[in-house]
Amino acid sequence: MTRPTDSSASIAPASAHTDHFARDHLPPPELWPELRFDLPELQYPPRLNCVAELLDGAADVDGRTAILGEHASWSYAALRERVDRIAHVLRGPMGLEAGNRVLLRGANNPMMAACILAVIKAGCIAVPTMPLLRARELSAIAGKSQINAVLCAESLRAELEAVDPPLPPAVRANTLWFGGESCQLEAMMAAQPARFEAVDTAADDVCLISFTSGTTGIPKGTMHFHRDVLAICDCFPRSVLRSRPSDVFIGTPPLAFTFGLGGLLLFPLRVGAAAVLLEKLTPETLLKAIEKYRATVCFTAPTFYRQMAQMAGDCDLASLLASVSAGEALPPATREAWRRATGLEMIDGIGATELLHIFISAAGDQVRAGATGKPVPGYQACILGQDGKPVGPGVIGRLAVKGPTGCRYLADARQRDYVLDGWNLTGDAYEMDADGYFYYRSRTDDMIISAGYNIAGPEVEDALLRHPAVAECGVIGRADEERGQIVEAHVVLKPEVAPSPQLAAQLQDFVKQQIAPYKYPRSIRFLKALPRTETGKLQRFKLRTENP
């Protein structure tokens, strides 16, 4: 519950946490990015429980649907009751205190959503994990965030029990299973009161530790406050997406990925809309589900849109008003294919786990060809040159961002790499135009340097994707004695096309006709599929290392 701001608002309000682990492991203040609250809607009171804010007002609205799943449809009141009962289980029988960390595991479904919300409402810290994570990664995440308890879907039980090195005995003793045959958590909920008074947390108490999907290296835990959760709802969805109570949100990103947590749970709740949570979606089943649920807003990654564009003709997508693409660069060829198939102008948006959600984007007639967009109101962005100073239009440099959210790694030396002079450095090479539009070029460390030329892989990928034989592709720099690096394309062909040296030569010519010839791929390899993370990102390092 939030109290009116009082005269002591300028003094940092006391944490509600009795377990101070999170606060103790925040980076030192001088390593934080600058935080800016430049809009009226970003002025949050010093005490704030974001889940109380999202649920306790809306829950009184008669019968409105909050969450739909394969086997469930919950009104706001029904969702709130479940969240409250789970919060009682956490603080009662499980014996947790405010500030404890709860590891969460489950596919996208209504119970997983209720569990995340309950942990936060109970004053604890949610540590959601992606279903496909394997034993070693899970063990690292559990260790780094020093978890106190686990809520896990019964369907992922075997995997969790195989975690190696095993979870500490106290954590194993405090693990509850939901769904499946046993419905252990559900049975305990039934014995609890239907109302839970939200823990009166400080706006800057940590409520979420989200681990970066990380295409390389050891996972980094990013720490987010109650106020951050509301701030992302009051930025992109409000000014770019313009979501409304009548919206029905659907899509693929896992709730354990902040792209999904925001797009498929927090954003709909913030405006009193409905969220459809479905497991194991494919491009085909997502299209069917949009039709079935009359979804109005879709969140997924570029490769899903590319595949859906080819099948969209078989479905009635008339309900769809907005399609949001994030996670990796949206090739213009994919934007065009989706527009041809559906008549919709996609909303591209760049977000990051460190900043929780999207901070540069554009919608409708604000979309400019090839650009991600402009800073979302509430955020600022610029391009930094090699000397760390902002550069003007037309120069490629490092993308730097600041706004109401920003990077705070859990006990991680890499904090120094992400924050420079108050700016968050996302690791992306971008370029700005004279009108303030931002253009993605590549990841900073993926820029290909061949015979002295800088070549951005995604531009070559976009050219290849326009060839009718190409389903997907990934372009990397391969070490080369003569040129330093050469451009190498890894191409997945459409099912009806067979690979051949002739086709490779055709693809090379095709690229040369569209972009500067020096950028053409000197090497072409045909693959059955591209290596991707669970969040839909191409793992370029695997293309480099697994195909020597």
In the complex, least distance from residue 1 CB atom to ligand 3UK, rounded to whole angstroms: 28
Q: Which residues pair with 468 in a beta bridge?
A: none
Instruction: Name the residues that contact ligand 3UK, by CB under 6 A.
Output: 212-213, 258-259, 326-330, 348-353, 357-358, 372, 426-428, 440, 443, 535
111 or 232: whose CB is closer to ligand 3UK? 232
The three-state secondary structure class of 491 is strand
> 189: burial class by Cβ within 10 Å (0-12, 13-18, 19+)?
buried
434's CB contacts (< 8 A; 6+ apart) are 393, 394
In the complex, least distance from residue 24 CB atom to ligand 3UK, rounded to whole angstroms: 24
Token pair of 395 as six digits: 């120069």
In the complex, least distance from residue 359 CB atom to ligand 3UK, rounded to whole angstroms: 9
213 or 334: whose CB is closer to ligand 3UK? 213
44 or 359: whose CB is closer to ligand 3UK? 359
In the complex, least distance from residue 532 CB atom to ligand 3UK, rounded to whole angstroms: 12
DSSP state letters, 244-275: -TT-EEEE-S-TTSHHHHIIIIIHHHHHT-EE
Q: Is the dihedral of CA 95, 100, 103, 107 positive or negative?
A: positive
| Residues 142, 431: Cα–Cα separation, whole Å | 38
In the complex, least distance from residue 445 CB atom to ligand 3UK, rounded to whole angstroms: 11
DSSP state of 30: G
In the complex, least distance from residue 345 CB atom to ligand 3UK, rounded to whole angstroms: 15
In the complex, least distance from residue 537 CB atom to ligand 3UK, rounded to whole angstroms: 7
201 or 334: whose CB is closer to ligand 3UK? 334
In the complex, least distance from residue 274 CB atom to ligand 3UK, rounded to whole angstroms: 20
82 or 441: whose CB is closer to ligand 3UK? 441
The beta-carbon contacts of 36-42 under 8 Å, at least 24 apart in sequence, are: 36/378, 36/380, 36/402, 36/403, 36/404, 37/231, 37/404, 38/378, 39/234, 39/377, 39/378, 41/234, 41/238, 42/231, 42/234, 42/235, 42/378, 42/404
196 or 440: whose CB is closer to ligand 3UK? 440
Cβ proximity of 397 and 383 under 8 Å: yes
DSSP state letters, 106-167: --SSHHHHHHHHHHHHTT-EEEEE-TT--HHHHHHHHHHTT--EEEEEGGGHHHHHT-SSPP
DSSP state letters, 346-385: PEEEEE-GGGSSEEEE--GGG--TT--BEEPTT-EEEEE-
328 or 488: whose CB is closer to ligand 3UK? 328
| Residues 371, 332: Cα–Cα separation, whole Å | 9
In the complex, least distance from residue 284 CB atom to ligand 3UK, rounded to whole angstroms: 24
100 or 334: whose CB is closer to ligand 3UK? 334
509's CB contacts (< 8 A; 6+ apart) are none
In the complex, least distance from residue 427 CB atom to ligand 3UK, rounded to whole angstroms: 5
Token pair of 81 as six digits: 């009751």
In the complex, least distance from residue 260 CB atom to ligand 3UK, rounded to whole angstroms: 8
In the complex, least distance from residue 358 CB atom to ligand 3UK, rounded to whole angstroms: 5
Residue among 501, 387, 546, 411 at smallest CA distance from 28? 411
Cβ proximity of 364 and 387 under 8 Å: no
17 or 220: whose CB is closer to ligand 3UK? 220
444 or 523: whose CB is closer to ligand 3UK? 444
The enclosing H or E element of 179 equals none
216 or 513: whose CB is closer to ligand 3UK? 216
The enclosing H or E element of 542 equals helix 540-545
329 or 382: whose CB is closer to ligand 3UK? 329
77 or 476: whose CB is closer to ligand 3UK? 476
Amino acid, single-letter form, for residue 148: N
* Residue of this chain nearest to ligand 3UK (CB atom): 351
59 or 130: whose CB is closer to ligand 3UK? 130
Instruction: Say how many residues make up the chain.
Output: 548
In the complex, least distance from residue 56 CB atom to ligand 3UK, rounded to whole angstroms: 26
The three-state secondary structure class of 543 is helix
Count the helices and strands in the chain (H runs, E runs). Answer: 19, 25
In the complex, least distance from residue 368 CB atom to ligand 3UK, rounded to whole angstroms: 14
| Residues 235, 96: Cα–Cα separation, whole Å | 33
Rg (CA), the chain: 23
